[in-house]
Amino acid sequence: MNILEKIIARKKEEIEERKALYPQKLLEKSLFFESEVVSMKKYVSHPEKTGIIAEFKRRSPSKGLINGTASVEQTTIGYMQAGASALSVLTDKDFFGGSEADLGLARKFNFCPILRKDFTVDEYQIIEARSIGADCILLIAAALEPKRLKELAVFAKNLGLEVLLEVHDGEELKKSLNEHVDLVGVNNRNLKTFEVNIQTSLDLGEAIPDTFTKISESGIADPATLVQLKQAGYDGFLIGENFMKTIRPHQAAYNFMQQYRKLLAASKGQVAV
């Protein structure tokens, strides 16, 4: 099995374990379950914001341990103060070192859109996402049949959540895009080989209808790349490892965003404020 297949196989086991520990009726009693959702689509595409979705990620299958000491509270608050438009929080434990508690903490300290970054394959996970304070869920085209993906998107929308569809190529985009999706993310990292290429986003940009908010994900390490992606029609940029690999992720995010603002302003013949 490739890495994605291993993750999905383990995820299905994990869901059954969690269903036994935290029944759906218990999740629905959460204070967050009926709370108002903050629109990631609006925040990411807002012209006065950076469009950056800053990610809290401890480790990954491809890189191993990225940051084992960063505080969820300090990092996520720092991300937002630095100018991030939204947050992404990994909740997968076995492969990424995350937890539902991490997202809960991020929600406690931040009023902004939060993406639950996980491998969603079951309605239970969507109910769980709502119960821990997420505003948006991720549906990965490479992990789901188009019909099943649409079913999960409809379920999420009925709970008030927004949906980020993640694709890796034109074939996935064509098969999986549906009217219940809010944002389309192009992952520059191949989840089967974990190789990264920004050209993936540049090639797919025009194929995504403008009715969807376009997000470029993974492998973004240079503020100049954001300007290039912005000019290619992207509103949002998911960045995690580039910040998290430093001792102070929030400071790295601040420096990155300051540089990005200057480069973007220069590309428009303006002066950065």
Q: Is 151 a residue of the active site?
A: no
Q: Could you say which of 85, 88, 201, 218 is catalytic?
A: 218
Please pick, among 57, 150, 214, 230, the residue that the annotation labels catalytic.
Answer: 57
Catalytic residue among 11, 55, 85, 241: 55
Residue 166 is a catalytic residue: yes
Residue 142's CB is within 10 A of a number of other CB atoms, namely 18
CA 12, 115, 215: angle at the middle one, nearest 5?
110
Annotated catalytic residue 218: yes
- Residue 262 falls in the annotated catalytic set: no
Q: Does residue 6 have an active-site annotation?
A: no
Active site residue 217: yes
**Residue 109: φ, ψ to 5°:** -105, 0
From the candidates 60, 187, 190, 216, which is the catalytic residue? 187
Q: Look up 187 and say whether it is catalytic.
A: yes
Q: Are 105 and 2 in contact (CB under 8 A)?
A: no
- Please pick, among 128, 162, 217, 241, the residue that the annotation labels catalytic: 217
- Catalytically annotated residue among 128, 166, 172, 241: 166
Single-letter amino acid, residue 194: F
Of 85, 100, 110, 117, which residue is the catalytic one?
117
Tokens read off for 173: 């985009």
Which residues are catalytic, by number?
Answer: 55, 57, 117, 166, 187, 217-218
